[in-house]
Chains A and B, each alone.
Chain A
Amino acid sequence: MTQEIPPVKAPASVLKNLGEVRAMIKRHKLNDYIFSLIGLLALTLALLTLLTLFSDLVIDGYTRFNTDFLTNFPSRRAANAGLLSAWVGSALVMLVTFLVAVPMGVAAGLYLEEYAPKHWFADLIEINVTNLAGVPSIVYGLLALGLFVYILDLGQSILTAGLTLGLLILPIVIVSTRESIRAIPVAIREAAYAVGATKWQVVYDHVLKYSYGGILTGVIIGMARALGETAPIITIGALTFIAFLPPSPVTEVAPFINFEWLSSGFTVLPIQMFSWLSRPDHAFHINAAATGALIIVVTLLMNGTAIYLRYKIRKNIKW
């Protein structure tokens, strides 16, 4: 019934004594140290490059940091030229982009994650969506030119630009939506189903509520990318010199909203910057530098907001 239990044999030690053990640990620690140094170096280089670029822009363009620059239309005289039509254009295009990308992206992400049957078709869509995120933006521009401008005859308008950029960031929104949904533990989902919730109740009461922080982050990062996009906007033929504002979306008389602005011609910040840069006069280059600095600041602010929101929303969710 009982067996002789063989005594545990001490394994033949690779290391002879404590001194060797310590030397070995030291060697391994050195590797740690070397790697952290390399990492730090790489990080510093990247940040330094960015900082140099940014400070270069600031040094070149700081003379134009004033309210006139934001409230003046473009002008033939560099000192009088301003960004008014460009930033308003950017803001309106972003609004359209947001309205296009968010509902479509979130709905598509939700469908793929929660509703779509999991077989080869879903896999195919998944691969395509991921690939779309890597398609060069100029291709989107060409697509938009053919589809929106010529076929749908939307013109070279804010609507066209918004739709194009919306399509451009759609993959980002879809992917970030799916990622945030996937981050919700199965246990929470099952808990909701177990009390008798329907699929829609689970999606609405739980999935969306716990993932919107992540979705929002993805949306903001996508928008930040869209803000700096130039190529597709140029392709669809945005104007480079605009001395007027689109009709206001909000009016003083009922119904207080109009949609004429959608079909208005426009320009955006990066195009304005591009057009100034292509002029021979150095004074315009100063304007371009100031615009570049502005775009970077706005982008950083947007990303910062994304990080803050994610932190704040995640604070109440622990899993």
Chain B
Amino acid sequence: MQEHIFKQYDAELEAVRAKVLEMGALVEQQIADALEALTGSNPKLAKAVINKDHMVNALEVQVDEDCSRIIARRQPTAGDLRMVLMMIKTITDLERIGDEAAKIARYALKSNETDRVWTPRFAEIKSMANYARDMLHMALDAFARSDATKVLEIAHMDEEVDEQYQMTMRQLITFMLEDPRTISMALEVLFVSKAIERIGDHAKNISEYVVYMVKGKDVRHISMEEMEETAKD
């Protein structure tokens, strides 16, 4: 990318971008840790995830401030403007993902309580979770590389995650019908899968913002066919 005549402007934009990427990396780690705590029954890790959520929130506030300062002082236009707008939206999604990670960590803590009849089996949602994590990773990667082509793949992956969520839900319902004692356990698994499904949605959002940033085209709320059309040109 060509530099601005005003070098300080470049430095400011780059600083915010780095902060968004830092926030993304932190959120990715939070999800990984939360899932690890969940599947590996690690309450210490779960607590650490919950405690670290404020760091995600703090980064969101910082990036927000940086962006408003750039808007006020530099009046960004065109590509710069789209990048600033994209970052403002991205951090909202990242912050929500952080919240979902914390939520998962809280279920991980709960599942480790000893006085429970049934221990929920989270192993089954692991593949879905990995899928969602990959989506987020890809979306952040696309942002880092200003790559608008990833959006299609990520959108397909999101459909996959949604489907897995539906499957998990149907499975859990059969459990609950068979044995009502499993209801509370099943609900916990359901909430966790819902959280993972949400992570997938947020990741998809981010990949869509990347398209707006790079191409100036809004690909939200359109059909897959239209999106393919846009990604082609």
Contact = CB atoms under 8 A, between A and B. Distances in A.
Whether A and B touch directly in their complex, counting CB atoms under 8 A apart, is answered as yes
A5 interface: yes
Given A1-B10, A2-B7, 12 more contacts: A1-B1, A1-B3, A1-B14, A2-B3, A2-B10, A2-B11, A2-B14, A3-B3, A3-B7, A3-B10, A5-B7, A5-B11
Shortest beta-carbon contacts, A-B, top 6: A2-B14, A2-B10, A2-B11, A1-B14, A5-B7, A1-B1
Nearest to B8: A5
Interface in B1-59: 1, 3, 7, 10-11, 14
Contacts of B3: 1-3
A171 B226 CA distance: 81
Interface of A: 1-3, 5
Nearest to B14: A2
A5 B3 CA distance: 13
Interface in B165-192: none
B79 to A, nearest CB: 13
Contacts of A5: 7, 11
14 contacts: A1-B1, A1-B3, A1-B10, A1-B14, A2-B3, A2-B7, A2-B10, A2-B11, A2-B14, A3-B3, A3-B7, A3-B10, A5-B7, A5-B11
| Dominant secondary structure of chain B at its interface with chain A | helix
B110 to A, nearest CB: 45
Contacts of B1: 1
Nearest to B10: A2
Nearest to A5: B7
A1 B10 CA distance: 8
Nearest to B18: A2
Interface of B: 1, 3, 7, 10-11, 14
A2 B15 CA distance: 10
A136 B161 CA distance: 106
Nearest to A2: B14
A1 B9 CA distance: 11
A5 B7 CA distance: 8
A112 B221 CA distance: 72
A8 to B, nearest CB: 12
Contacts of A3: 3, 7, 10
A123 to B, nearest CB: 44
A92 B51 CA distance: 109
A3 to B, nearest CB: 7
Contacts of B11: 2, 5
A162 B171 CA distance: 123
A55 to B, nearest CB: 69
B11 to A, nearest CB: 5
B197 to A, nearest CB: 35
Contacts of B14: 1-2
A2 B10 CA distance: 6
A2 to B, nearest CB: 5
Give the most central of A1, A2, A5: most B CB within 10 Å: A2
Contacts of A2: 3, 7, 10-11, 14
A5 B1 CA distance: 17
Nearest to B15: A2
Contacts of B10: 1-3
A3 B11 CA distance: 8
A232 B44 CA distance: 118
A145 B11 CA distance: 85
A1 B18 CA distance: 12
A218 B182 CA distance: 112
A2 B3 CA distance: 8
A130 to B, nearest CB: 48
A2 B14 CA distance: 7
A1 B21 CA distance: 15
A1 B11 CA distance: 9
A97 to B, nearest CB: 64
A5 B6 CA distance: 11
A264 B137 CA distance: 112
B73 to A, nearest CB: 17
Contacts of B7: 2-3, 5
A135 to B, nearest CB: 59
A204 B168 CA distance: 93
A195 B184 CA distance: 86
A2 B7 CA distance: 8
A36 B14 CA distance: 58
A92 B193 CA distance: 116
A1 B7 CA distance: 10
A1 B4 CA distance: 10
A1 B14 CA distance: 8
Contacts of A1: 1, 3, 10, 14
A161 B14 CA distance: 85
B15 to A, nearest CB: 8
A2 B4 CA distance: 10
Nearest to B11: A2
